[in-house]
Amino acid sequence: MVTFKINGQTVQGEEGQYIKQVADKYGVDIPTLCHHKALEPAGMCRICTVELFDGRRSRFVTACNYPIWDGMEVQTDSESVHEGRKLIVELLLARCPEVPLLQELAAKYGIDKPRFKAEDDTCILCGLCVRMCEKMGNSAIALTGRGVEMKVDTPFHLQTDVCLACGACASVCPTGHITLEKIREEITRKGNVQLIPSEYDMGLKGRKPVYVPYAQAVPNTPAIDRDVCVHFKTGGCKVCVEFCGVDAIDHTMEDEVVELEVGSIILAPGFQPFDPSKFDAYNYANHPNVITSMEMERLLSASGPTGGHLVRLSDHKEPKKVAWFQCVGSRDLNRCDNSYCSSVCCMYAIKEAVIAKEHAGDDLDCAIFYMDMRTHGKDFERFYNNAQDKGVRFLRSRVHTIDPVKDSDEVSVRYVDDAGNLQQEQFDMIVLSIGLETSPEVVEMAKRLDIELTPGNFCKTDTFEPVATSKPGIYVCGAFQGPKDIPQSVVDASAAASAAGEILAGARNTATRKPEVVPQTNVIGERPRVGVFVCRCGINIAGVVDVPSVAEYAATLPYVEFAADNLYSCSQDTQDNMSQIIKQKKLNRVVVAACTPKTHEPLFQETLLKAGLNKYLFEMANIRNHDSWVHKNNPELATKKAKDLVRMAVTKVALAQPLEETELQVNPTALVIGGGIAGMTAARSLAQQGYETHIVERGEQLGGQAHNLYKTISGDLVADKLGALIGDVSSHPKIQVHLNTQLSAVDGFVGNFKSTLSNNGNQQEIEHGVAVVATGGAALQTDEYGCGQDPRIMTSLELDKMMMADDPALARAKSAVFIQCVGSREPQRPYCSRVCCTHSIDNALELKKRNPEMNVYILYRDIRTYGEREYIYKEAREKGVIFIRYNLAQKPEVALVDGKVQITVTDHVLGIPLQIDADLLTLATAVIPNKDDALANFFKVPLNDDGFFVEKHAKLGPSEFATDGVFLCGLAHYPKPIDEAIVQGRAAASRAVTLLARETVHTSGQVAQVDPMMCSSCGVCVSICPYSAPSFIDADARMHAGKAQVNPVLCKGCGLCVASCRSGAIHLKGFDNNQIFAQISAVNWD
């Protein structure tokens, strides 16, 4: 250890260190232009010159490369040092008058205009680039020439193959003398001088070789991209190692092959977006203003390359007109091989158009060119209608070519409008709504696993087993099963998990390890003894906030017994250390001033538990995300703010009380309401996984609407498969079937429900831990289009019945007409029934099969054969089914004339009315829910305007309710075909099992609690709570009859009841009034 003085202060450094290193450690600022932590110092720029007194005389040395020795005295900011630096800056500025960094320095040292002759260089010959290039293991450039001729250059001033174009020299150049352009034009002969494209930002932005793919990535640790990292090319660099404070980087690590023994495999490899560069006519590869929808997503994103500011890429100007082209790489066999529909593009294009208008203002003109608008998802049709109201233009036309406009950044498109006229329009930007496809790697994987694929290269599955691959034990979910959106992928994922869970039920909990439980110390009644740990987070916090002074300050606060700072509070050794300190100092409250509690609170609470403290005796002060990161340029105020935040946390934690989490047993029994396909699938899955299941059906048989269906699109008879499923359910030893039964009352909450079943007046009470709502739907009965007036006019399900019965009328018929959207997509029912297009086309094909001579017409508004259902649409056209489009304003008309069923429809191409005589008229009526207000009320779950149940989260929680322990599947959620009903039945079971398998539920400690002595029984809390947690104590109860109570199991700790309680009787534990008041008051003590 070497001891010496800097500016009179005694400091210590290691033998062999230089003055600047020690000064940095003690926070003494010495300016420099040529120093880099990872490189050997060279003393080139001379700005770090300091005054050294060796006991006899003073002299000037460069701090960056002068080794320290015992007893030396250094002055870093004396008058003569200042004078010397001023001269150096003056000389540098004369050489490079245009460099902003030098101009700033000159201003700092009070130099107005250099006294020396001005030159026009931008290089200060600091040599950083040369040393960095050498560090990279390369040495492509060097300082060449002598004296005034000296410059940074390649040997003989020739472009070189040695340079890797890594850009390290440009990244360290202090003046901006070296740029990527210069590397490209003067240094390297390699052509690829460009930023590394960020995968997350679709290449619209660069990223580093060491990177975190995106801010929310899990795990959120940086990775090194070996393909671009210089170390893996030359063996040099390793600069990152010098900067990592915890020695976490090891370049010698290699890929490991890990073998796992598993009982089941789930495939979720997803899709790749279609690459439109092969479509020459769209000019995607050549024109910057033709982009893909994925690039548009990034442009619209607040975390994207432009921060959500919509610009066209050619000149970064705001566009005035944007167009979307649908079906790029979908429904197309001419220019690519994807004849399926990608399912999601219509909806995302509308979403992008609406968001673009929100970001850029209503004046932005958005046009969507489409073939059929497919908004078949829940609430999607409403979104489509709203987009039209907001002025998004929808143009039914497939555009062939995008032409660049000469001398302009715009592009021109020609299309045929609805009336058949040729139009030409110019746009600032074209967004190609690219489809989904399976990547070649996944196709390869499927081959290796020996599983079958569909013609579209998706995983082949069966309607009644939609998540099972052709190989037993291997399941599939997500877009590899077929192109689909987020909600459907989430449903799939749960379903695949339950399918795997069924065959592995026996192994559940066999590989579980339980953590050791440390007994909790009782701290009630003790005087608070607060420990404060202030985190440096490497330089993330300490680089801005003066961490030691915050820790010192914390030690002066009331009740604080201990305060210290840590380098990384979240590292394992610091955690162990903290645990030791808590025990040694007998701390009973802890504050960690570090990052955000949203990510790190659970970790530190774990540490408290290990030290025997209740985990609620803890508080975090967010001095990173809310302070050092966002006030980088204001260290002084940031330090002040950190002290305020720590003070607020300390005053709050001093009032914290240990809170209890109650543990409740979960009754391992399930109740399924509804005996249709979805309900039965859920029941079977639950029973297969070992749980007692009751299935309640109000009708006299199981099977629901599926009894009315003839066959699936793959050609299987529904009755066969349905019979097998009913057999499985009826004979399963763990399933009790209750027919002709309805629910008449429900009591209790998650884990402990009590439901009353009534069967012809007989009441039976059953106890269950979870409930699955599968109440189904029905076909709309209508009198529109003459339905009911003639046996030849029928609904889709009635046609299925005729087919099942092989009705001779089918064989006799010479012409058949289908009318789509009967009762769907209309003002009184603004949703798409999802199943009817496929169903009608499938039946049309069946009619054609039975009688190829029959004339079959389908009158439609948009054909919505999403996913690989598109194939049958194509087949129907090929087989001569005639599709005639109508619009809502001009619906077809049906009349019974001279014993004939006469249909008049206006053809959209000819624009004139067409008359068709039909022997069969099938009406594709809407799917309507079995709206059940009583049930909604029993379980406190909401219904939407259309009568469908509202799930917990439209995207992420499609098969469960916000009410804990209650799940949802089938038509009660939204109209869906058999395969999707089965998937959701499995998904609901899967979500339910996550609860049942835990066996117990823990309540949070941070819940509301009523003080019955203060409660006035006004009932505001009971009516206001979104989770139905408060209730009145029974009027005949022994204690506090009629007062309110809060069920801690249902309480989510939002505090709504607390704020609304007019008697002040409700307290929110962990966020009590006194704690918040204390925090408020602590803001202003200074």
Partner 1 sequence: MSEWEPKIVSFLCNWCSYGAADLAGVSRMQYAPNIRVVRIPCTGRMSPKFALAALREGADAVWVSG
Partner 2 sequence: MMKNLLEFMGVEPDRIHFSWISSAESTKFVEVVNKITAKVKAIGPNQRFVKQAAKVA
The site for partner 2 (CB under 8 A) is made up of 302-303, 307-308, 630, 1084
Asked whether position 1010 contacts partner 1 by CB under 8 A, the answer is no
Binding at 410: pick from partner 2, partner 1, none (beta carbon under 5-8 Å per type): none
Asked whether position 201 contacts partner 1 by CB under 8 A, the answer is no
CB of 316 to partner 2, least distance (A): 18
What dihedral do alpha carbons 957, 959, 961, 965 form, nearest 10°? -110
Q: What values do phi and psi take at 836, rounded to 5?
A: -70, -40
Distance from the first to the final alpha carbon of the chain: 40
Picking from 495, 504, 554, 506, the residue whose alpha carbon sits closest to that of residue 530 is 554
Question: Measured from the CB atom, is 337 or 636 closer to partner 1?
Answer: 636
Question: Measured from the CB atom, is 643 or 711 closer to partner 1?
Answer: 643
CB of 1057 to partner 1, least distance (A): 8
Interface pick for partner 1 out of 631, 707, 711, 885 (rule CB under 8 A): 631
Picking from 178, 88, 97, the residue whose alpha carbon sits closest to that of residue 130 is 178
165, 157 Cβ separation under 8 angstroms: no
3-state helix, strand, coil in the chain (%, to 5): 30, 25, 45
Question: Measured from the CB atom, is 386 or 634 closer to partner 1?
Answer: 634
Question: Measured from the CB atom, is 567 or 1076 closer to partner 1?
Answer: 1076
Question: Measured from the CB atom, is 970 or 1053 closer to partner 2?
Answer: 1053
Burial of 776 from C-beta contacts in 10 A (0-12 / 13-18 / 19+): buried
Asked whether position 625 contacts partner 1 by CB under 8 A, the answer is yes
Question: Measured from the CB atom, is 303 or 887 closer to partner 2?
Answer: 303
Name the DSSP class of 1003: P
Interface pick for partner 1 out of 9, 80, 634, 662 (rule CB under 8 A): 634
Binding at 622: pick from partner 1, partner 2, none (beta carbon under 5-8 Å per type): partner 1
Binding at 1006: pick from partner 1, partner 2, none (beta carbon under 5-8 Å per type): partner 1
Q: H or E segment at 594? A: strand 589-594
Binding at 629: pick from partner 2, partner 1, none (beta carbon under 5-8 Å per type): partner 1
Interface pick for partner 1 out of 198, 824, 1006, 1045 (rule CB under 8 A): 1006
Asked whether position 542 contacts partner 1 by CB under 8 A, the answer is no
Interface pick for partner 1 out of 421, 633, 760, 828 (rule CB under 8 A): 633
Q: How many residues bind partner 1 (CB under 8 A)?
A: 42
242, 37 Cβ separation under 8 angstroms: yes
Question: Measured from the CB atom, is 302 or 419 closer to partner 2?
Answer: 302
Question: Measured from the CB atom, is 795 or 1006 closer to partner 1?
Answer: 1006
Q: What Å distances lie between residue 866 and 228, 481, 856, 881, CA to CA?
A: 41, 13, 22, 19
DSSP per residue over 82-138, as a string?
Answer: HHHHHHHHHHHHHH-TT-HHHHHHHHHTT-SS-SSPP---------HHHHHHHHTT-
Q: Which of residues 288-347 bind partner 1 (CB under 8 A)?
A: 303
Name the DSSP class of 1068: E
Which region, judged by CB under 8 A, interacts with partner 1, from 124-132, 577-585, 622-630, 874-882? 622-630
What x/- string results for residues 731 through 750 when contact with partner 1 is judged by CB under 8 A? Answer: --------------------
How many residues does this entry show for the chain? 1086
Question: Measured from the CB atom, is 303 or 740 closer to partner 2?
Answer: 303
CB of 953 to partner 2, least distance (A): 14
Residues 6+ away with beta carbon under 8 Å from 1023:
none
CB of 648 to partner 1, least distance (A): 7
Asked whether position 1055 contacts partner 1 by CB under 8 A, the answer is yes
How many Å is the Cα radius of gyration of the chain?
Answer: 36
Which region, judged by CB under 8 A, interacts with partner 1, from 113-121, 438-446, 450-458, 642-650? 642-650
Question: Measured from the CB atom, is 192 or 633 closer to partner 1?
Answer: 633
CB of 1076 to partner 1, least distance (A): 6
Q: Which amino acid is at 264?
A: S
Q: Which amino acid is at 1030?
A: P
Q: What Å distances lie between residue 763 and 738, 757, 838, 1020, CA to CA?
A: 12, 6, 43, 34
Question: Measured from the CB atom, is 142 or 204 closer to partner 1?
Answer: 204
CB of 106 to partner 1, least distance (A): 25
Asked whether position 141 contacts partner 1 by CB under 8 A, the answer is no
Question: Measured from the CB atom, is 308 or 538 closer to partner 2?
Answer: 308
Whose tokens are 């003690």? That residue is 26
Binding at 175: pick from partner 2, partner 1, none (beta carbon under 5-8 Å per type): none
CB of 1080 to partner 2, least distance (A): 12
Asked whether position 1056 contacts partner 1 by CB under 8 A, the answer is yes
Interface pick for partner 1 out of 630, 895, 896, 934 (rule CB under 8 A): 630
Rounded Cα distance between 109 and 82, Å, is 8
Rounded Cα distance between 929 and 938, Å, is 18
CB of 359 to partner 2, least distance (A): 11
Residues 6+ away with beta carbon under 8 Å from 83:
none
Widest distance between CA atoms in the chain: 127
Binding at 308: pick from partner 1, partner 2, none (beta carbon under 5-8 Å per type): partner 2
- How do strand 49-53 and strand 73-75 relate by DSSP bridges? antiparallel
CB of 644 to partner 1, least distance (A): 6
Beta strands in 919-1033 (DSSP E): 920-925, 927-929, 966-968, 1000-1002, 1008-1010, 1030-1032
Q: Which of residues 580-609 bind partner 1 (CB under 8 A)?
A: 596-599
Interface pick for partner 1 out of 32, 76, 569, 622 (rule CB under 8 A): 622
Angle at 293 between CA 291 and CA 295, to 5 degrees: 60
Question: Measured from the CB atom, is 631 or 973 closer to partner 1?
Answer: 631
Question: Measured from the CB atom, is 902 or 1004 closer to partner 1?
Answer: 1004
Asked whether position 955 contacts partner 1 by CB under 8 A, the answer is no
CB of 631 to partner 1, least distance (A): 4
What x/- string results for residues 1060 through 1079 when contact with partner 1 is judged by CB under 8 A? Answer: x-------x--x-x--xx-x
Is residue 1030 classed as helix, strand or coil in its secondary structure?
Answer: strand
- How do strand 365-370 and strand 560-566 relate by DSSP bridges? unpaired
Q: Which of residues 208-227 bind partner 1 (CB under 8 A)?
A: 215
802, 791 Cβ separation under 8 angstroms: no
Binding at 332: pick from partner 2, partner 1, none (beta carbon under 5-8 Å per type): none
Q: What Å distances lie between residue 853 and 828, 848, 849, 850, 881, CA to CA?
A: 38, 7, 9, 9, 11
Rounded Cα distance between 115 and 43, Å, is 24
Interface pick for partner 1 out of 637, 724, 809, 1037 (rule CB under 8 A): 637
Burial of 254 from C-beta contacts in 10 A (0-12 / 13-18 / 19+): exposed
CB of 537 to partner 1, least distance (A): 11
Residues that bind partner 1 (CB under 8 A): 215, 303, 596-599, 622, 624-627, 629-634, 637-638, 640-641, 644-645, 648, 1006, 1053-1056, 1058-1060, 1068, 1071, 1073, 1076-1077, 1079-1081, 1083-1084
